[in-house]
């Protein structure tokens, strides 16, 4: 079993230079050096420390494999070079202020519509839709038949949709 701390002190700079010579930038070389020692630590903790008689060769074997793996991954990923003005035309996934306000208004409408439902209907709807329970689980919890539970949940959907359509048609 090797002393990983001593291996790091003796070989980290050497491995970093190895990665730099293979064309990796300084940040990537540092990451790969660290990954090499993480692999050595996991190998020594599991008892399969590779080449017990030559830890330097084992380090370089791991380093070479990590470098090759990274190049393979980078070759699969396609990089796109675009001018800055084109990047500004790429769609932004964050919602606009108008969308945020619209969604909040709809949420308020839904909350009010839920409060308008009879207690048993609201509870069945909330258990199914918000707590993601199956209709059978909701029926069991409320002590109802599955068909009755389905009817209550359907009424909840119909009521909420009617309220949302009411508001959207008045806009």
- pTM, whole model, 2 decimals? 0.46
Check: CB of residue 149 under 8 Å from CB of residue 139: yes
Domain segments of the chain as ranges = 4-76, 97-169
As its CATH architecture, domain 97-169 has Orthogonal Bundle (1.10)
pLDDT per position as a tens digit, 88-140: 777 777 888 998 998 999 999 999 999 999 999 999 999 999 999 999 999 99
Closest by CA to 16, choosing from 40, 38, 32, is 32
Give residue 46's pLDDT band: very low, low, confident or very high (50, 70, 90).
low
Question: Mean pLDDT in the chain?
Answer: 87
Going along 1-145, which residue ranges are E strands?
Answer: none
Cα separation of 48 and 43, whole Å? 5
Give the chain's largest Cα–Cα span: 81
Cα separation of 30 and 159, whole Å? 60
User: Is the four-CA dihedral 124, 128, 133, 137 of positive or negative sign?
Assistant: positive
pLDDT per position as a tens digit, 99-113: 899 899 999 999 999
Lowest mean pLDDT among 5-19, 85-99, 113-127, 153-167: 85-99
Percent of the chain with pLDDT over 90: 56
Cα separation of 148 and 154, whole Å? 10
Check: CB of residue 18 under 8 Å from CB of residue 63: yes
């Amino acid at each position: 079993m090797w002393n990983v701390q001593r291996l790091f002190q003796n070989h980290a700079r050497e491995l970093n230079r190895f990665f730099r010579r293979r064309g990796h930038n300084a940040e990537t070389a540092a990451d790969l050096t660290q990954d090499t020692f993480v692999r050595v630590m996991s190998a020594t903790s599991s008892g399969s420390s590779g080449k017990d008689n030559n830890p330097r060769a084992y380090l370089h074997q791991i380093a070479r494999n990590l470098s090759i793996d990274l190049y393979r991954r980078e070759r699969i990923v396609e990089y796109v070079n675009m001018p800055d003005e084109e990047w500004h035309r790429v769609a932004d996934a964050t919602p606009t202020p108008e969308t945020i306000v619209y969604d909040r208004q709809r949420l308020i409408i839904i909350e009010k519509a839920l409060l308008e439902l009879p207690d048993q209907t609201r509870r069945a709807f909330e258990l199914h839709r918000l707590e993601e329970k199956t209709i059978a689980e909701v029926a069991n919890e409320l002590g109802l038949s599955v068909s009755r539970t389905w009817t209550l949940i359907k009424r909840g959907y119909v009521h909420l949709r009617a309220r949302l359509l009411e508001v959207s048609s008045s806009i």
